[in-house]
Amino acid sequence: MDAPPLIRTLTATDATAYRALRLQALRDHPEAFGASHEDEAARSLEMTAKRLNDGPLNCVFGAFSGDELIGTAGFVVPDRSAKSRHKGLLVGVHVAPERRGQGLARALVSAVIAHARAHVVLLQAAVGVDNAPALRLYESLGFRRYGLEDKALRVDGVFIDEALIVLYFAGDT
């Protein structure tokens, strides 16, 4: 029997695998991510490695099957100024197509939540309003909707509205 997937934070040594999976995600699901394939492809491997070496306020969790990276979920505190550093953002949730439906995204996002709980008061995310799998996942983990960003993204001339969702950690609601 195969060993269960391992979830751990990525380091600079994972940069090549992370970049490949991320480029696949951006190519296959441009409507699901704020970054574009073009922008990511233009980033050097060194820049990617640097992002993976930026500490607990900007990190990526990966799911591995053996040595193979098969899914990711990221955590970032976008604004570290005194009045905003209590807010974290869940980003870059993606599972390789052939590995979906096995609980990997749930495990990855749960890992981000456990990590975020130690660093911020609330965790926000933005999800395309038509992305039912992601919305269902996040809502099952306790996120709730607090807003809607009309025309949040424009992908090949098509506007995507995003649901704004948030998870408050105990005692801080």
151 interacts with ligand COA by CB under 6 A = no
Can you tell me which residue has the tokens 């306790």?
142
CB of 93 to ligand COA, least distance (A): 4
Distances, alpha carbon 73 to alpha carbons 66, 81, 89, 107, 156, in Å: 18, 24, 11, 10, 25
CB of 166 to ligand COA, least distance (A): 14
145 interacts with ligand COA by CB under 6 A = no
94 interacts with ligand COA by CB under 6 A = yes
CA distance 71 to 62: 6
The answer for residues whose C-beta is within 8 angstroms of residue 41's C-beta and 6 or more apart is: 23
CA distance 107 to 100: 12
136 interacts with ligand COA by CB under 6 A = yes
One residue of 132, 142, 144, 147 binding ligand COA per CB under 6 A = 132
24 interacts with ligand COA by CB under 6 A = no
One residue of 8, 140, 149, 159 binding ligand COA per CB under 6 A = 140
CB of 137 to ligand COA, least distance (A): 3
89 interacts with ligand COA by CB under 6 A = no
133 interacts with ligand COA by CB under 6 A = yes
Residue 3's Cβ-count burial label (10 Å; 0-12, 13-18, 19+) is exposed
Size of interface with ligand COA, in residues (CB under 6 A)? 21
Q: For residue 59, how far is the Cα from the chain centroid?
A: 10
Q: Which helix or strand (DSSP H or E) is residue 171 part of?
A: none
Strands 87-95 and 122-128: parallel
One residue of 8, 27, 80, 106 binding ligand COA per CB under 6 A = 106
Binding site for ligand COA (CB under 6 A): 25, 29, 32, 93-95, 100-106, 127, 131-134, 136-137, 140
